[in-house]
Amino acid sequence: MAEAMERDFLDRDEADYGSEDTQRDKFLTFFLANEEYGIAIRHVIEIIGIQKITAVPDMPAFIKGVINLRGKVIPVMDVRERFRLPGQTYDERTCIIVVNVDDQSTGLIVDRVSEVADIPADKVEPAPGSHKDRTTNFIMGLGKMGDRVKILLDVRCLLAL
């Protein structure tokens, strides 16, 4: 909570004084299966461990339900299922990344969180292949970090049902 308040203060401070965006080019990276993905840190509110999820009927299979996070009901999406990857039993490393897009909080279930990585725009290449495929619509670009490549996701497209 203190971290979120500090982030809000920093955002306000930057807007008020016109200073440089300290969150630009920063991505929270995480694993699904053996691949590493990233989302823009500006959308991340917090990371929590897996907890009881209340199922909601008549939702897509990748929407696992909702959680009660400090009195706020938040929908939770299993990103593995969103990407049509084989399911996996949740364990002690499974996390929920709480993101906020357009004033809507959503939890993203991932296998494990990796790091906050600096990936400058000049190290991001467009995703290969056709953008007609639904899964490539989620991909914002491919971030190069040394000899590794991280798949950078467009959170807004990921959350679109």
135-144 pLDDT, tens digit each: 458 899 999 9
Q: Which residue, among 40, 26, 45, 53, has the nearest Cα to 98 in the 3D structure?
A: 45
39-74 residue pLDDT tens? 999 999 999 999 999 999 999 999 999 999 999 999
- Which residues 6+ apart lie within 8 Å of 153 measured at CB? 37, 38, 39, 138, 139, 140
Contact (Cβ atoms closer than 8 angstroms) between residue 138 and residue 46: no
Per cent of the chain over pLDDT 70 is 81
Q: Which domains does the chain have, with CATH numbers?
A: 44-113 (2.40.50.180), 118-161 (no CATH)
